Amino acid sequence: MFNALPQEYRVAPPEELRARIAAAREQLGSRLTILAHHYQRLEVCEFADHIGDSYGLSKIAAAMPEVDYIVFCGVHFMAESADILAQPDQTTFLPNPLAGCPMADMAEVADVMEAWAVLNDLGVADRTIPVSYMNTAAGLKAFTGKNGGLICTSSNANGALEWSLSRGDKVFFFPDEHLGYNTAVRFGVPRERIVFWDFAEDQGGLTDEQIREATVILWKGHCHVHTNFSPEHIDQMRETYPDVRIIVHPECPPAVVDKADAFGSTKFITEYCESAPAGAVIAIGTEVNLINRMAHYYPDKTILELSGQTCAVCANMYRTTLNDLAFCLERIDDFKPIRVPEHIKADARLALERMLEIPK
């Protein structure tokens, strides 16, 4: 299998792996940068040069032309985005190549093109701007760029809607219905002008009229980690901790985001925890590794997982271990990189660059 982890890395004890990662890192010196998403395990984050949200890490990847190797501890679409934005002589690696994103997989380019053909037949495609969440495969980013659209993340989705609705009458948003809905409603799009494209149904389950009348069409994808949270979790948390502040990620369902005290990207959530006063009680609706890391960094604050359970694990983010990182760094010249094919890159870069230009 592609970059299968050799046995020697599987059995090495953590202390040995730590020493080997540190040595490999030192040897590669300024030729290397290690990026880690906020959902990575604590022990992986400890080796990162930069920890961030999807937006921040893509910006960093685009602004380090002096580095030869970008090792991205995250999931596949993140490493692809770094490769798209990096210089041609830079190489991007995903230490565990099996780390994907099930939500990104919910919007396949072939299905999206079929949906777009329907819009074309109805005569509305040329006034529709595609907006794709960062959590999409490179092929969908290219489709987006080619059709006049842009990428957004959880931290700039509002700006992306503004950009799009000043250039077209309609937005087709992929693939997270919840981020799309939470953003569109706050942007002021009337609820009756937001429709859901169910990719399991013919014509998205929509009538010609519904498509024509819509301002925002939301692809019916979701994140199985964030849809774990419910408004009842918020009620229970407030009952147990009357002073609690509830902070959630916008991939959570609207009923959860509406009841929370604040919502935002993983960077927003970590900054919220950092700036809260000692003694604060904060319940967080996002991936549990971020929450555990915040609780570890700020022992003077009570930082809780919103559902009160430990079910909010992104198994894909969790795949990357010290074993993978040691293997990737020690064998970097043999490790299979993430390379987005050239015929996809140009249009995908266009969509990402449009995102980097909009105000946050």
In the complex, minimum distance from the CB of residue 242 to ligand 13P, in angstroms, rounded to a whole number: 28
- CA dihedral 305→308→311→317, nearest 10 degrees, is 10
Asked whether the CA dihedral 315, 318, 320, 321 is positive or negative, the reply is: negative
Please identify which residue in 3, 33, 40, 54 interacts with ligand 13P, judged by CB under 6 A.
54
Helix, strand, or coil (residue 42): helix
Q: Contacts with ligand 13P in 55-74 (CB under 6 A)?
A: 55
Shortest distance (Å) from residue 7 CB to ligand 13P: 31
Out of 153, 156, 307, 320, the only residue in the binding site for ligand 13P (CB under 6 A) is: 153
Q: Which is nearer to ligand 13P, 97 or 168 (CB)?
A: 97
- In sequence order, the 6+-apart residues with CB closer than 8 A to the CB of 193 are 213, 214, 215, 216
Nearest distance, CB of residue 109 and ligand SF4, angstroms: 18
At closest approach, how far in Å is the CB of 108 from ligand SF4?
A: 15
Start-to-end CA span in the chain (Å): 41
The one-letter amino acid code at 354 reads R
Percentage helix, strand, coil, to 5, in the chain? Answer: 50, 15, 35
C-beta atoms surrounding 89 within 10 Å: 7
Residue 102: contacted member of ligand SF4, ligand 13P, none (CB under 5 to 8 Å, by partner type): ligand SF4
Alpha-carbon span 54 to 346, nearest angstrom: 20
Min separation Cβ 288 and ligand SF4, Å? 10
Q: How far is the CB of 58 from ligand 13P (least distance, A)?
A: 9
Residue 316 binding partner per list ligand SF4, ligand 13P, none, with a CB distance cut-off of 5 to 8 Å that depends on partner kind: ligand SF4
Q: Which is nearer to ligand SF4, 211 or 290 (CB)?
A: 290
Among 195, 223, 256, 257, binds ligand 13P (CB under 6 A): 223
Q: What is the CB neighbour count within 10 angstroms for residue 331?
A: 13
The type of residue at 313 is V
Smallest distance, Å, CB 93 to ligand 13P? Answer: 19
Asked if 57 contacts 78 with a C-beta cutoff of 8 angstroms, the reply is yes
Tokens of 147: 């059709």
Partnered with residue 305 across adjacent β-strands are 284
Which residue of 128, 265, 307, 323 would you call a contact of ligand 13P, by CB under 6 A? 265
Decide whether 135 or 228 has the Cβ nearer to ligand 13P: 135
**Which tokens hold the place of 28?**
């590669």
Q: Is residue 316 involved in binding ligand 13P (CB under 6 A)?
A: no
Q: Judged by CB, which is closer to ligand 13P: 91, or 270?
A: 270
State the residues that interact with ligand 13P by CB under 6 A: 38, 53-55, 135, 153-154, 223, 249, 251, 265-266
